[in-house]
């Protein structure tokens, strides 16, 4: 009898040890059961960037390269898609083949994405969208960017208040748009036009300057030939277009800025543009913050820990002017200070 009890005890002990061993080893498997959480080594990130068209883009790229660095635990595969949508889709598909842990996309155009995002989903590779929007698919875990329509509304509201404060009775705007199909272009155009329609302004013309300095100059040269003496405002949908527009107006003998005949504003607010605002060459600039990468790093680190993340994260931005005659504007019920650009403001610009 005693022998039987001993055998049973030995069997129970062996089974207990076996079960313990299996539980420990299966725990290790769970953390890598294809749910894409990393096993603690380098995080492979593929970034399909729009291109290299503007100072804003350069700041965005530098921010990503410094954030997704080896010392921060990343292996970054960066592709400059040169404003070519086919190249961008190809880059994302290559990232899938290379079995990236995460894919980051700044979409050149806001449509044409559902098929490739479905392929990412099938490959269990989370996608984070930054900056511009994707409007024909929501198969991404998070978007970190700017509210472009609000930027356009802010520009319109500031201009309405500024014209009133300066006693300008008739606002006759020209617009130099960003790249066709970009959500930044669509939002800024929509927002500004909403205010223009409310104020009864006639937008004389609105053409694509492709977010580049050359593009801004070419469009402004055409405007100066077609509309010289008929316009008193130029809305440039990014800083680089404004630089080109200034060159064109200089060449055409059109004065602009605080002491000129034409009010000129830009979007983005890189340091060079803010300096031009301080100098009165630009009347105002409406910031679009390019430094999304640190926020994307936070999103990825949360996902690595299996934590949930916000679907939409908006960048903090401000609006800056040379003169302090418009202290604030109200957008969608929220009042925003207009920053008067001083030496100190300029010195503290991050990019």
Residue 48 or 184 with smaller CB distance to ligand GZL = 184
Strand partners, 73: none
* Total interface residues for ligand GZL by CB under 6 A: 13
268: contact with ligand GZL by CB under 6 A:
yes
Distance CA 326, CA 317 (A): 17
Residue 256 or 267 with smaller CB distance to ligand GZL = 267
The binding track of 141-180 with respect to ligand GZL, each residue x by CB under 6 A or -, is -----x----------------------------------
57: contact with ligand GZL by CB under 6 A:
yes
Residue 89 or 288 with smaller CB distance to ligand GZL = 288
SS3 207: strand
Distance CA 253, CA 235 (A): 19
293: contact with ligand GZL by CB under 6 A:
no
Q: Of 55, 6, 12, which is closest to residue 285 (Cα–Cα)?
A: 55
Binders of ligand GZL among 73-132, rule CB under 6 A?
131-132
Distance CA 68, CA 351 (A): 18
- Pick one of 288, 299, 320, 338: the residue that binds ligand GZL (CB under 6 A): 288
Residue count (the chain): 351
Q: Of 302, 292, 309, which is closest to residue 43 (Cα–Cα)?
A: 302
SS3 308: coil
Q: Which stretch binds ligand GZL (CB under 6 A): 54-62, 220-228, 255-263, 273-281?
A: 54-62
Q: Do the beta carbons of residue 246 and residue 209 sit within 8 Å? A: no
Residue 74 or 267 with smaller CB distance to ligand GZL = 267
Distance CA 89, CA 61 (A): 18
Distance CA 275, CA 277 (A): 5
Closest approach, Cβ 111 to ligand GZL, in A, equals 15
- Pick one of 133, 238, 266, 322: the residue that binds ligand GZL (CB under 6 A): 238
Contacting positions for ligand GZL (CB under 6 A): 53-54, 56-57, 131-132, 146, 184, 211, 238, 267-268, 288
């Amino acid at each position: 009898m005693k022998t039987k009890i001993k055998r049973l005890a030995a069997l129970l002990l062996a089974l207990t040890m076996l079960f313990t061993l299996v539980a420990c080893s299966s725990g290790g498997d769970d953390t890598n059961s294809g749910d894409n959480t990393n096993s603690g080594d380098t995080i492979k990130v593929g970034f399909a960037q729009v291109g290299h068209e503007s100072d804003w883009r350069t700041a965005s790229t530098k921010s990503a390269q410094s954030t997704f660095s080896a010392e921060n635990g990343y292996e970054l595969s960066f592709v400059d898609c040169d404003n070519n949508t086919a190249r961008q889709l190809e880059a994302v598909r290559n990232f899938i083949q290379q079995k990236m842990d995460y894919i980051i996309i700044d979409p050149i155009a806001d449509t044409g994405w559902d098929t490739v995002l479905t392929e990412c989903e099938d490959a269990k590779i989370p996608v984070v969208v930054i900056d511009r929007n994707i409007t024909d698919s929501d198969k991404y875990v998070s978007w970190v960017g700017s509210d472009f329509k609000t930027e356009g509304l802010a520009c319109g509201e500031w201009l309405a208040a500024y014209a009133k404060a300066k006693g300008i009775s008739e606002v006759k705007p020209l617009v130099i748009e960003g790249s066709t199909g970009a959500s930044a272009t669509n939002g800024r155009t929509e927002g500004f036009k909403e205010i223009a329609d409310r104020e009864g302004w006639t937008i004389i013309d609105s053409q694509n300057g492709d977010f580049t300095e050359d593009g801004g100059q070419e469009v402004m040269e055409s405007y100066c030939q077609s509309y010289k003496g008929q316009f008193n405002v130029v809305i440039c949908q990014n800083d680089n277009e404004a630089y080109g527009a200034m060159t064109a107006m200089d060449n055409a003998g059109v004065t602009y800025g605080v002491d000129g005949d034409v009010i000129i504003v830009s979007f983005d607010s890189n340091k060079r543009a803010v300096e031009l605002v301080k100098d009165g060459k630009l009347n105002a600039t409406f910031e679009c913050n390019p430094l999304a990468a640190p926020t994307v790093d936070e999103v990825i680190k949360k996902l690595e820990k299996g934590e949930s993340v916000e679907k939409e994260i908006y960048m903090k931005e401000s609006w800056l002017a040379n003169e302090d005659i418009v202290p604030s504007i109200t957008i969608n019920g929220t009042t925003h200070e207009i920053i008067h650009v001083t030496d100190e403001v300029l010195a503290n610009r991050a990019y």
